[in-house]
Structure 1
Amino acid sequence: MAISPPQNRLWWNEPIERVEIGWVVVAFLWGLFMFFFMIAWHFIGGQNLSTETYRITPAAYEQKVATFAEKYQVSEESGVPVVRPPVGEDVFILARLWEWWPLLELKKGQSYRIHLSSIDWQHGFSLQPVNINISVHPGYEQIITLTPTEAGDFGIACNEYCGIGHHMMTGRIRVVE
């Protein structure tokens, strides 16, 4: 019940004020602009990754990553292999409770196809500080093309809650000159 109901109970038949029509038009045009700008931003924004995705069993992906790490391992840090693949080679990273495996060492200015998958739960691949975010699911192999533009250590964090050790699920990509 309204405090003071309208005089005419058929309020929808009342004429619309010019100011009201103006705001409806502005809101409609703004909605159209935002809709088309989102589509355009995918192409001109330079931040939306186009990925390839394939089905794969977690066991098969784990074997691919182990073979890759064994073939290109150059050292070890805290029990995790540091892998330096040749330029142009496909690169594999495995997500599992609660680690990104292995650590990668890539060359600045070179393009790499990075394969991502999980063998247990859904994880989130968040490469910082460049703000690349991808959901990583078991049973799916995501492939992104990455060209590092500056040298340094870049952190990988899981941004999908994956259990009690989630806060410790970090990895690293080292980019060298």
Structure 2
Amino acid sequence: MAIHEPQGNWWQPLSKDEKIWFILALVWMLVSFLYMPIQHFIGVQNPPSESYRVSAEDFEALIEAQEEKYTVGEENGFPVVRPNPDEPVYLKASMWEWTPVLELEKDKTYKIHLSSVDLVHGFSIQPINLNLMVIPGIDYVVNLKPTSSGDFRILCNEFCGLGHHTMVGKINVI
């Protein structure tokens, strides 16, 4: 069976209602299209714009120096560090662990340097829902100002192997 062309004048101009809906849809599409790049510049949700290239060995050395200087205890085999808010704070992602446990003071601003020494990891602080990708060779700087006391979990939200479900770090805010 063949498809036949419709007989007669099958096409008709848009009615008034159709024109209104077409214009509304077009305006909404343009607003949505323009909102995305504008929000990138005016929004406060942007990922950190400060990042550096770093080797795994250099980042490990920074972690070790921080641990030697600021360790105040140990938790589940991980060093607990209480860094000075005026100095950089380093947090390392490696297969199935975040090192060290950070003990931060409430209402003080810290510059947290994040990097991975092996694979791509996801950095997620719960329950505040801060999410970043942590990529080997890149040192991301996050300005963090804890506004409430308590224990906050750092989760890896990027699959990193068989022990991924155990990759939980901790930030204690005092």
| Shared fold, TM over 0.5 | yes
Helix, strand or coil: the match of 2:45?
Answer: coil
Distance 1:32 1:65 in 2: 48
Structure 1 partner of 2:169:
171
2:60 to 62, 71, 85: 62
Give the partner amino acid of 1:82: V
Which residue in 1 is equivalent to 2:109?
A: 111
SS of equivalent residue, structure 1 residue 86 = coil
Selected match of 1:161 from 159, 166, 169: 159
Superposition pairs of residues 63-102 of structure 1, within 5 angstroms? 63-102=61-100
Q: Deviations over 1:131-160 (max 9, x none)?
A: 110000001000010111111111100011
What is the SS of the residue equivalent to 2:72?
Answer: strand
Partner of 1:162, secondary structure, is: coil
1:137 to 117, 135, 154: 135
Partner AA of 2:92 in structure 1: L
Q: Deviations over 1:37-58 (max 9, x none)?
A: 4445456654334331111111
Q: Give me the TM-score of the superposition, normalised by structure 1.
A: 0.87
C-alpha separation in 2, matches of 1:8 and 1:66 = 83
Which consecutive unaligned segments of at least 5 residues does structure 1 have?
none
Moved more, 126-135 or 19-28: 19-28
Check the 8 A contact 2:94/2:119 in 1, yes or no. Answer: yes
User: How many residue pairs were aligned?
Assistant: 174
Distance 2:2 2:49 in 1: 54
Correspondence for 1:29:
27
- Tell me whether 162-171 or 61-70 shows the greater mean CA deviation: 61-70
Return the offset for 1:117: 0.4
Q: Which stretches in structure 2 are left out of the alignment for 5+ residues? A: none
Deviates more, 1:119-128 or 1:59-68: 59-68
Output the CA distance in 2 between the equivalents of 1:9 and 1:125: 61
Greater shift after overlay, 49-58 or 68-77?
49-58
Letter in 2 for 1:134: L
Mapped contact 2:48–2:140 kept (Cα < 8 A): no
2:171 aligned partner, one-letter code: I
Amino acid across the alignment from 2:160: C
3-state SS in 2 of match to 1:116: strand
Q: TM-score, with normalisation over the residues of structure 2?
A: 0.88
Q: 2:56, 2:116 within 8 Å by CA — same for their partners in 1?
A: yes
The 3 A distance-change label for structure 1 pair 6 and 120 is farther
